[in-house]
Amino acid sequence: MGALTVGVTPVGLALVAFGDEPETALWAAEKLGEEPTADPAGSAEAAAQLAEYLAGERKAFDLPLDWRLTAGRQRTVLEVLYENVPYGATVSYGELAVRAGMGRDYTGARGVGSIMGSNPIPVVVPCHRVLAADGLGGFGGGLARKEWLLGLEGVLTGGLF
């Protein structure tokens, strides 16, 4: 899976980035108008819960989320995903578009795909659980990570995990 960078504000978890990317956390802090600081206590719980999830020991996150890096339709879709697609379940881009009130047409599904690619809190807000009608679809962390996460949750079995 590799390293993850987390960004936590006084409101909650605002960022999960794939890799050791402190510059991404600095960008997020600037965008939120927060003073960038190293807050081991604030990020320790997020890091611990992510480690437990990645070790197969946690099925749901219990963290306050700071949604301020999202807005409008993006926030709506990500909140619907977070609240309605639990561990081990999947949803298609089109179905998520319907659940979020974007309609069933091709445009709604493509819009959801774009939103998944801009998710600032992947893994915790589980965009890896959103699949294309004809297969896995894309993933901002790379297809191998999406396959690994879906395998961890028991969605993919056999040779793919």
Render pLDDT for 50-84 as a digit per residue (tens, 0 to 9): 999 999 999 999 999 999 999 999 999 999 999 99
Six-digit token pair at 69?
A: 């890096």
- The pTM score is 0.88
- Residue 66 annotated in active site: no
pLDDT tens, residue by residue, 22-43: 777 777 777 777 766 666 667 8
Q: One of 80, 127, 130, 149 is an active-site residue; which one? A: 127
| Cβ-based neighbours of 144, under 8 Å, separated by 6 or more | none
Q: Which tokens hold the place of 45?
A: 């719980």
- Other C-beta atoms closer than 10 Å to the C-beta of 138 total 15
Pairing label, strands 91-92, 13-18 = unpaired
